[in-house]
Homo-oligomer: A and B are copies of this chain.
Amino acid sequence: MSGSRSPRRRAAALRNTAPRQRSPRPAMALDVLNSHLGYFVRRLQVWIFQDFIRTLGRIHISPAQFSALVVVNANGGLSQSDLATTLGVERARMARLLDRLQERGLVERLRSDADGRRHALEITPRGRLLLARAKTLAAQHESRLMAKLGGERYGVLLNALRDL
């Protein structure tokens, strides 16, 4: 019987008898993962991170560096530890991140008058120029994310997460 089937019909029959091998994503059982929000957040986060890294990579800025530049620019004179707290980044990691931005002349650490150990962060004119380009690229990334999610879902997610 099966020897007389056309290749197309045979392929269709294979799909019917062995869907897992042919189209793994729809047929695979996710079991408890289907009720774990964390699983789906991670999947979305992986997509976002990869696209964002690629997008900002053109100007050699990491996603974390972008967030730091945005917040330093919008809050001139803030301290390193306040920046770390705001962005939810460990202090040691933030210190290394700022080292790299400072080496590239994008931010300055000015000694604060009030407390000799504190540094007031300021963006440099060069940092401001690069940030303007980065914001344009980030907006393009965000448009791709909205296209992926659909505008309605995008809005639902942004509203649900922004107030946390």
9 interchain pairs, CB-CB under 8 A: A21-B79, A25-B86, A28-B71, A34-B162, A37-B142, A37-B157, A37-B161, A41-B48, A157-B160
A37 B86 Cβ-Cβ under 8 A: no
Residues of B close to A158: CB separation below 8 A: 35, 37, 40
Could you tell me the distance in whole angstroms from the C-beta of A66 to the nearest C-beta in chain B?
9
Report copies per complex: 2
Is A103 in contact with chain B by the CB < 8 A criterion?
A: no
- A25-B85, A71-B28 as given contacts; A41 in contact with B44, CB under 8 Å: yes
Instruction: Provide the residues of chain B in CB contact with A138, threshold 8 Å.
Output: 32, 36
A70 close to chain B: CB less than 8 A: yes
- Residue A9, interface by CB 8 Å: no
Minimum distance in angstroms from A10 CB to a CB of chain B:
13
Residues of B within 8 A of A28 (CB): 71, 74-75, 78, 82, 86
Residues of A within 8 A of B (CB): 20-21, 24-25, 28-46, 48-49, 52, 63, 67, 70-71, 73-75, 78-79, 82, 85-86, 88, 135, 138-139, 141-142, 145-146, 149, 153-154, 156-158, 160-162, 164
Chain B residue with the shortest CB-CB distance to A34:
B162
Name the prevailing secondary structure of the A interface residues.
Answer: helix
Which residues on B sit within 8 Å (CB–CB) of A154? Answer: 37
Our pick among B41, B88, B141 for the contact of A161 (Cβ within 8 Å) is B41
